[in-house]
């Protein structure tokens, strides 16, 4: 957005208007306001994403309930509970790093330290994806594919959908850490912030999926 | 987030102003016009398959084609007419103007939303012409009929249908984020929530309902697409796996019921705007309307299984769902009474928009009360999936999607194009539409009572139905005239766009903020001024005032730096 | 407009529809009357000026709403009691209440109904079972237990004269029942879109006297045992 469009000056005080909770619309470009609007929007988006996952999880529960006697489906391997525990810890750890990053961002610590935290967070995200991929390859070699049974279909769909979210978030994080390394983030605080919120969503969703799906 | 405010009204060439525009008004009109074209298409499709119903021996359509046409009629009307016109069109056009904003919170996202919608429209239209034809499993696309090409012979049609639907939802999600964010964050000074015009409330509630309910259907659509394309086992019952066909119904209707309110309540919002402006009277029970609409919205999340009373739902659960469904009559009853009391004691100007609003209101009452028959689960054993259901939802949908929309178009046309529509043609259109709509839809209630199941391409197969063939003749005749009547509207619309009487800023002498702007409003809506709100949205005929309306706010000049 | 009722519970459905019809007719006529009167009485010509005054909304709505709640309660009560009678009774309860019953397993397929009879011994899955397509023959005044399922897509067993409709869903089996009160030949339809020929997926419902049923059953089972 170019400077040319930031044109509105504060209006004169208005007489006689009642106390209100409405925004003063003549500061559409003030940073604080933009920040709040962006946060509001990402929260809305996350909420509707959560409803998609709610739909998937209830589909999982219903299918499991319908097939209680045949779960996992005959001849199919169990979901890898132990291996995924390591993965869960890795992802949660990256969430902790994100927390530390955001805290130091607020305290305005040195850039070098900041970029280290963010890069570590990215790396853990990538490790999560790689380990997940390995697990999938192993499962496929044991005969659990997306078409082999209900058990496989729902597993790959839900976990895969989450993995897509992790992938998007990781790409976003890489882009963000590039900014931080170049120390350019002052103009992109909003983006860094909502990227972090999205990462929280992806990380915090995982233990729920792990608990519900794998056990 | 970008704010392209340009006090000179224009920047860029034709393409960036009218095609890939980020201006909420242009996007609103794009949505509106795309939706109306789809409505015309849906209407023509309806006339064709109704001809098949009236004269089954002529074989107007093969049974396969009949199912495709019925399915596409429902799909187009709900997802490609109601959503874009009421949410995309009026939401985009009216919300920023009514709350005194210069544009939506995210103009680029808004543009992206429209073009995603446009893409989805192309996909759904293309699905008519792929091998196997368009989807023919009903607009509810019940599995396993829909997810296996063996059952209907439709392969590509169904995949494209799902893709188009998911694209459309993505588009509406972008829109929803935008509307809610805009309404919460960009209101003019002094515009508290309880001073919002009713349409803005209704759009907001609709957007919230949509965003919270659509997730499960997006999930379900994705799963169905996997079932359809690579052969997973979610909704199909095969040797390898026991999927659950009823799961699709749950996912569909969890979205489906809030969805019908998503497309209903913006229409009621338009009716509220029109009857206050034409009745010169404040909306009676403003807060009651707001709260009861919210209550109806919340309740709409716990009624979905009333579509599945006879689909093997646990009978005890059915009792719960039936009671919540019957309960939902109460908020809508309050709302109807409030509208009635608003008319009572007014000084009503009978304009075309008022006639449409009134017609919509009356039709909505019939649609509402007939819902009780279907919500009572014991009556639903008999009435489920008969023409009674068809008549009921046509009454509810038509009230909002057609009557509400057209009332809104007559009402805001001066604001959209700076000219008025022809009132005489408008009144003929209104009365004709109301009469022929009722002639078409009301007899369907009787067909339903006679036990006529829906989606039959011929009733002559059954002795107990064949004697009611005259009702099909009547309904088809009325439907043909109803669609033909819309030629008046199309003529009036385009004629008035170019040669209509020039409209001043506030032709209806209405109170809400959009009437402070130029007709049509400039880019950025308010030029070198910005609105400040001083009172409620419907202060008509205030005692002691010289004029019979008190605008909600006024424009205060702002200093603009260059 | 409703077709003739021939089942023991049909009147529950019919009465409920009648109750709701009376209530909604009252409400609708009243509402239409008031609205149309308001538009005529209070249009610009007959009422050129109006004023901003209006009393609190709650005082006007409260009695109307109370009335609506009473109506809702009546409807809910009638509906739930009907439901309890028609749908909520389990198969074992019904069997213990009735000495004699007819057991029929119904499988919907694109595009026909197959009726699987238990035969002379009245036990399913024995040698004397037999299947007939598109014709359900049952005795009058006898409990008929239906077990619905589907071989391909969702169908819906709809016998308008019995006021009975229930879905037949692949992978699930569902129990419903009825007791006919009148002999004669009626129609059964499919009420859930199931493909191109959904509109003519019909079957005959023949309700016969107990004696006729017995001889029909003998004839059928006999034909089977000869083979």
With beta carbons under 8 A apart, name residues in chain A contacting B105: 37, 41
Per-residue pLDDT of chain B (562 residues; tens, 9 = 90+): 334 444 344 456 777 778 888 999 999 999 999 999 999 999 999 999 999 999 999 889 999 999 999 999 999 999 999 999 999 999 999 999 999 998 999 999 999 999 999 999 999 999 999 988 899 999 999 989 999 888 998 989 999 999 999 999 999 999 999 999 999 988 998 899 999 999 999 999 999 999 999 999 999 999 999 999 998 999 998 877 788 999 999 999 999 999 999 999 999 999 999 999 999 989 988 999 999 999 999 999 999 999 999 998 888 999 999 999 999 999 999 999 999 999 988 899 999 999 999 999 999 999 999 999 999 999 999 999 999 999 999 999 999 999 999 999 999 999 999 999 999 999 999 999 999 999 999 999 999 999 999 999 999 999 999 999 999 999 999 999 999 999 999 999 999 999 999 999 999 999 999 999 998 999 888 888 889 999 889 988 888 888 888 999 999 887 554 4
Q: Which residue has the higher pLDDT, A180 or C105?
A: C105
Partner chains of C (3+ C-beta pairs under 8 Å): B
Question: Best of B140, B379, B450 to disrupt the C interface by mutation (most C CBs within 10 Å)?
Answer: B379
User: B185 and A17: CB-CB below 8 Å?
Assistant: no
Angle of helix B156-185 relative to helix B107-126, nearest 10 degrees, comes to: 160
User: C154 and B145: CB-CB below 8 Å?
Assistant: yes
Strands (E), B420-551: 529-533
Measure in Å the smallest separation between the Cα of B282 and chain C Cα atoms. Answer: 7
Let me know: does B372 contact C64? Beta carbons within 8 Å: no
Among A156, A132, A134, which Cα is nearest to A144's? A156
pLDDT at B303: 94
pLDDT at A16: 36
User: B219 and A55: CB-CB below 8 Å?
Assistant: yes
Domain boundaries, chain C: 10-86, 93-223
B184 touches chain A (CB under 8 A): yes
What's the average model confidence in pLDDT over A69-94?
88
User: A11 and B530: CB-CB below 8 Å?
Assistant: yes
User: How far lies B523's CA from each of A64, B113, B355, C159, in Å?
Assistant: 55, 20, 32, 62
With beta carbons under 8 A apart, name residues in chain B contacting C172: 246, 312
User: B142 and C12: CB-CB below 8 Å?
Assistant: no
pLDDT at B13: 75
User: C160 and B382: CB-CB below 8 Å?
Assistant: yes
What band does A184 get if pLDDT is binned at 50, 70 and 90? low
pLDDT at B4: 42
Measure in Å the smallest separation between the Cα of A38 and chain B Cα atoms. Answer: 7
Residue of chain B whose alpha carbon sits nearest to that of A73: B241
Let me know: does B518 contact B502? Beta carbons within 8 Å: no
Residues 6+ apart with CB under 8 A from C22: none
pTM above 0.90, yes or no: yes
Let me know: does B431 contact B461? Beta carbons within 8 Å: no
Strand partners, C130: C117
With beta carbons under 8 A apart, name residues in chain B contacting C57: 284-285, 287-288, 338, 341
CATH of domain B23-561: 1.20.210.10
pLDDT at B384: 94
User: B245 and C154: CB-CB below 8 Å?
Assistant: yes
pLDDT at B11: 55
For residues B1 and A210, what is the distance between their CA atoms, to the nearest angstrom? 35
Classify the phi-psi angles of B312: left when phi > 0, otherwise alpha if psi is within -120 to 50, otherwise beta: left
Give the DSSP letter string of A78-135.
PP-HHHHHHHHHHHHHHHHHHHHHHHHHHHT--HHHHHHHHHHHHHHHHHHHHHHHHH
Residue A14, exposed/middle/buried by CB under 10 A (0-12, 13-18, 19+)?
middle
Question: Best of A59, A65, A67, A140 to disrupt the B interface by mutation (most B CBs within 10 Å)?
Answer: A59
Domain boundaries, chain B: 23-561
Tell me how far the alpha carbon of residue C24 is from its chain's centroid. Answer: 21
pLDDT at B7: 39
Residues 6+ apart with CB under 8 A from B237: B144, B243, B245, C170, C171
User: C52 and B279: CB-CB below 8 Å?
Assistant: no
- Burial of A204-214, coded b for 16+ CB within 10 Å and e otherwise, reads ebbeebbeebb
Q: Which two tokens stand for residue B546?
A: 């010289």
With beta carbons under 8 A apart, name residues in chain C contacting B386: 191
pLDDT at A26: 45
B421 touches chain A (CB under 8 A): no
Element (H, E) at B18: none
Tokens 């960036």 identify what position?
B16
With beta carbons under 8 A apart, name residues in chain A contacting B147: none
For residues C5 and B282, what is the distance between their CA atoms, to the nearest angstrom? 51
With beta carbons under 8 A apart, name residues in chain C contacting B378: 12-13, 16, 78-80, 82-83, 86
Residues 6+ apart with CB under 8 A from A32: none
Domain C93-223's class? Answer: mainly beta
In this complex, the residue of A18, A38, A55 whose CB is nearest that of residue B251 is A55
Q: What is the mean pLDDT of each run of 10 residues along chain C (227 residues)?
A: 92 95 94 94 87 76 90 94 92 89 93 90 82 93 94 94 95 92 95 92 94 90 55
With beta carbons under 8 A apart, name residues in chain C contacting B349: 43-44
| Whether the predicted interface score ipTM is above 0.85 | yes
For the segment A164-178, what is each residue's pLDDT rounded down to a tens digit?
Answer: 999 999 999 888 888
For residues B104 and A7, what is the distance between their CA atoms, to the nearest angstrom? 17
User: A17 and B241: CB-CB below 8 Å?
Assistant: no
pLDDT at A21: 34
How would you list the strands of the sheet with C184-190, edge to edge?
Answer: C135-139, C203-208, C184-190, C155-159, C164-168
In this complex, the residue of C79, C191, C197 whose CB is nearest that of residue B378 is C79
User: C171 and B349: CB-CB below 8 Å?
Assistant: no
């Amino acid at each position: 957005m170019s400077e040319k469009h930031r044109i509105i000056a504060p209006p004169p005080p208005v007489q006689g208007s009642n106390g209100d909770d409405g925004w003063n619309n003549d500061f559409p470009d003030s940073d604080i306001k933009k920040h709040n609007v962006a946060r509001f929007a990402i929260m809305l988006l996350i909420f509707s994403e959560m409803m998609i996952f709610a739909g998937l999880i209830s589909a999982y529960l219903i299918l499991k309930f319908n097939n209680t006697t045949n779960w996992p489906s005959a001849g199919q391997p169990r979901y890898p509970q132990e291996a995924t525990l390591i993965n869960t810890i890795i992802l949660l750890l990256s969430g902790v790093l994100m927390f530390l990053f955001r805290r130091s961002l607020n305290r305005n610590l040195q850039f070098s330290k900041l970029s280290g935290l963010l890069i570590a967070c990215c790396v853990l995200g990538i490790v999560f994806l790689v380990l997940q991929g390995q697990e999938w390859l192993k499962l496929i070699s044991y005969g659990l594919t997306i078409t082999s049974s209900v058990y496989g279909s729902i597993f790959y769909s839900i976990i895969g959908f989450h993995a897509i979210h992790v992938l998007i978030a990781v790409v976003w994080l890489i882009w963000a850490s590039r900014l931080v390394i170049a120390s350019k983030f002052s103009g992109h605080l909003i983006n860094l912030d909502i990227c972090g919120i999205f990462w929280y969503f992806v990380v915090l969703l995982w233990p729920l999926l792990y608990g519900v799906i794998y056990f | 987030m970008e704010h392209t405010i340009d006090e000179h009204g224009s920047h860029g060439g034709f393409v960036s102003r009218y095609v890939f525009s980020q201006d909420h008004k242009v996007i609103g009109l794009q949505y509106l016009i795309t939706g109306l074209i789809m409505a015309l298409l849906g209407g023509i499709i309806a006339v064709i398959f109704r001809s098949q119903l009236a004269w089954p021996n002529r074989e107007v359509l093969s049974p396969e084609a009949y199912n495709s046409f019925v399915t596409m009629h429902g799909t187009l009307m709900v997802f490609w007419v109601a959503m874009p016109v009421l949410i995309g069109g009026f939401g985009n056009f009216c919300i920023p103007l009514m709350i005194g904003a210069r544009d939506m919170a995210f103009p680029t996202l808004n543009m992206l939303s429209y073009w995603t919608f446009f893409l989805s429209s192309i996909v759904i239209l293309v699905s008519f012409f792929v091998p196997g034809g368009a989807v023919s499993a009903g607009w509810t696309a019940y599995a396993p009929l829909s997810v296996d090409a063996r059952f209907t012979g439709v392969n590509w049609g169904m995949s494209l249908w799902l893709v188009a639907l998911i694209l459309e939802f993505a588009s509406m999600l972008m829109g929803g984020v935008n509307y809610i964010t805009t309404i919460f964050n960009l209101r003019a000074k002094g515009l508290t929530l309880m001073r919002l015009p009713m349409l803005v409330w209704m759009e907001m509630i609709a957007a919230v309902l949509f965003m919270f309910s659509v997730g499960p259907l997006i999930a379900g659509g994705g799963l169905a697409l996997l079932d359809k394309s690579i052969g997973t086992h979610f909704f199909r019952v095969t040797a390898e796996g026991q999927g659950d066909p009823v799961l699709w119904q749950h996912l569909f209707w969890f979205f489906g019921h809030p969805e019908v309110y998503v497309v209903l309540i913006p229409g009621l919002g338009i009716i509220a705007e029109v009857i206050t402006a034409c009745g010169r009277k404040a909306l009676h029970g403003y807060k009651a309307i707001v709260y009861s609409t919210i209550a109806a919205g919340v309740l709409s999340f716990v009624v979905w299984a009333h579509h599945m009373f006879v689909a093997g739902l646990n009978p005890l659960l059915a009792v719960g769902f039936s009671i919540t469904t019957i309960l939902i009559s109460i908020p809508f009853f309050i709302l109807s009474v409030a509208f009635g009391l608003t008319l009572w004691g007014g000084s009503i100007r009978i304009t075309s928009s008022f006639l449409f609003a009134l017609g919509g209101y009356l039709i909505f009452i019939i649609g509402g009360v007939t819902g009780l028959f279907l919500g009572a689960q014991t009556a639903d054993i008999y009435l489920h999936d008969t023409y009674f259901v068809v008549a009921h939802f046509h009454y509810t949908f038509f009230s909002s999607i057609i009557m509400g929309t057209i009332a809104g178009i007559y009402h805001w046309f001066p604001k959209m194009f700076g000219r008025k529509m022809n009132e005489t043609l408008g009144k003929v259109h209104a009365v004709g539409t109301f009469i022929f709509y009722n002639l078409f839809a009301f007899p369907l209630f009787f067909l339903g009572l006679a036990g006529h199941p829906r989606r039959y391409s011929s009733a002559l197969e059954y002795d107990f139905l064949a004697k009611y063939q005259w009702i099909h003749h009547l309904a088809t005749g009325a439907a043909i005239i109803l669609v033909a009547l819309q030629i008046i509207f199309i003529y009036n619309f385009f004629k008035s766009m170019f040669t209509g009487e020039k409209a001043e800023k506030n032709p209806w002498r209405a109170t809400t903020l959009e009437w402070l702007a130029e007709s049509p409003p400039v880019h950025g809506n308010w030029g070198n001024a910005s609105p400040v709100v001083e009172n409620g949205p419907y202060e008509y005929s205030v005692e002691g005032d010289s004029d019979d309306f008190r605008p909600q706010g006024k424009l205060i000049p702002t200093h603009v730096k260059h | 407009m409703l077709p003739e009722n021939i089942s023991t519970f049909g009147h529950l459905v019919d009465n409920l529809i009648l109750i709701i019809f009376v209530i909604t007719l009252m409400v609708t006529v009243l509402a239409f009357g008031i609205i149309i009167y308001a538009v005529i009485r209070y249009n610009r010509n007959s009422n050129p000026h109006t004023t901003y005054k209006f009393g609190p909304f709650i005082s006007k709505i409260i009695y109307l709403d109370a009335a609506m709640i009473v109506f809702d309660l009546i409807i809910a009560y009638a509906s739930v009691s009907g439901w309890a009678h028609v749908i909520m009774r389990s198969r074992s309860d019904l069997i213990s209440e009735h000495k004699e019953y007819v057991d029929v397993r119904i499988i919907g397929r694109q595009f026909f109904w197959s009726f699987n009879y238990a035969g002379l011994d009245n036990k399913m899955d024995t040698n004397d079972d037999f299947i007939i397509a598109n014709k359900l023959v049952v005795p009058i005044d006898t409990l008929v237990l239906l077990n619905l399922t589907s071989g391909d897509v969702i169908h819906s067993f709809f016998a308008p004269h019995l006021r009975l409709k229930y879905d037949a869903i692949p992978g699930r089996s569902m129990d419903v029942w009825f007791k006919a009160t009148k002999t004669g030949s009626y129609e059964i339809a499919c009420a859930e879109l199931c493909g191109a020929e959904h509109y003519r997926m019909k079957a005959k419902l023949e309700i016969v006297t107990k004696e006729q049923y017995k001889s029909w059953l003998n004839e059928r089972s006999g034909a089977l045992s000869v083979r």
